[in-house]
Amino acid sequence: MRLPEPITLSDLANWLGVSYAGNADAPVTGINEIHKVVPGDLTFVDFHKYYDKALNSDATFIIINKEVPCPEGKGLLFSDDPFRDYVRLTKRFRPVEHSLTPVAPDAQIGAGTVLYPGVYIGPNVTIGENCVLHPNVVVYGHAVISNNVIIHANTVLGSDAFYYKKRQQPESYFDKMHTCGRVVIEDDVEIGAACTIDSGVSGDTVIRKGSKLDNHIHLGHGVVLGERTLIAAQVGIGGKTVVGNDCIFWGQVGISKTLHIGDNVTVLAQSGVGNDLESGKSYFGSPAIEARKAWREMARLKKLAAGE
């Protein structure tokens, strides 16, 4: 998420009520998760396993729950609860907005776009030209839809990220991460009926140009689909997974979170993907492996079962 205007490290620390290390006047220009940060961004880390990853990332500013030496060129904010303070900041810079009209007053709708009855368009949404949104499509706030996009009935764009921190005190409960990311749909995308596309936590969930989605597909927070990707019904892709261009996922494929899928990858029906996949190959099975290898293994098992 880009900030509307930069805020200095010292001003941010004062607002949070925490100590800091680094250049007091350094400008914070964005807030983002660790896998999407760019220079100028602020992120957070609250688990020792990920300290080095955060400190060595492209993030310029890190909220951290351990006093460590500040790397050159960075700024650290020392917090007893980085998750809590990160949520406070996202709520400050992108608070929840409500619109009780079918199309929010500040939504921008391009020429030639058709909205069927029952469509809901939230605050700060931008929709390009010559799009068609079929009945009961819901577009949450801040989504960006480009030109020539078709979205079929009952699909939801921009629902909250599935992101919680388990707390133990005063009793066990799940603490919700505030969603402040967006859904971005590029030109010539078609999305089938009853699909659910979550917003990014603080970055964007992106479907790139020319991709086509069947019915009943779920994309988790921060997923990026490459260009001309074809996805059949009942596919689910976990949060923060990045998919290359010209991929095909057939029905009921399940893809885990935070993976990287190369270009020109085909995953055959009912496969389960738990690891990164190399470009230019076909995969099958659960866990998914190269399709030819999977078929050879299945043939051997069949012979073994038959006593051959």
Q: Are strands 289-290 and 282-284 parallel, antiparallel or unpaired?
A: antiparallel
Residues of the chain with CATH 3.40.1390.10: 2-93
CA distances for 40 relative to 119, 183, 269, angstroms:
37, 22, 42
| Position 138 pLDDT exceeds 90 | yes
Class of domain 223-308: mainly beta
DSSP string, 8-55: EHHHHHHHHT-EEES-TTPEEEEE--GGG--TTEEEEE-SGGGHHHHH
Confidence of residue 78 (pLDDT cuts 50, 70, 90): very high
Confidence of residue 302 (pLDDT cuts 50, 70, 90): confident
Report pLDDT digits (tens) over 248-269. Answer: 999 999 999 999 999 999 999 9
Confidence of residue 218 (pLDDT cuts 50, 70, 90): very high
Report pLDDT digits (tens) over 17-76. Answer: 999 999 999 999 999 988 889 999 999 999 899 999 999 999 999 999 999 999 999 999
| Position 146 pLDDT exceeds 70 | yes
97-221 homologous superfamily: Hexapeptide repeat proteins (2.160.10.10)
Q: Cα dihedral sign for 257, 87, 32, 2?
A: positive
| Mean pLDDT calculated for residue range 267-280 | 97
| Mean pLDDT calculated for residue range 153-179 | 93
CA distances for 185 relative to 86, 158, 227, 280, angstroms:
27, 11, 11, 25
Of 134, 152, 216, 221, which is the active-site residue?
Answer: 221
| Position 291 pLDDT exceeds 70 | yes
260 catalytic, yes or no?
Answer: no
Mean pLDDT score of the chain: 95
Q: What confidence score (pLDDT) does residue 169 get?
A: 78
| Mean pLDDT calculated for residue range 255-284 | 97
Nearest to 190 by CA among 235, 238, 158, 145: 145
| Position 308 pLDDT exceeds 70 | no
Class of domain 2-93: alpha beta
Q: What confidence score (pLDDT) does residue 253 get?
A: 98
Residues of the chain with CATH 2.160.10.10: 97-221, 223-308
Report pLDDT digits (tens) over 85-119. Answer: 999 999 999 999 999 999 999 999 999 999 999 99
| Mean pLDDT calculated for residue range 235-256 | 97
| Position 177 pLDDT exceeds 70 | yes
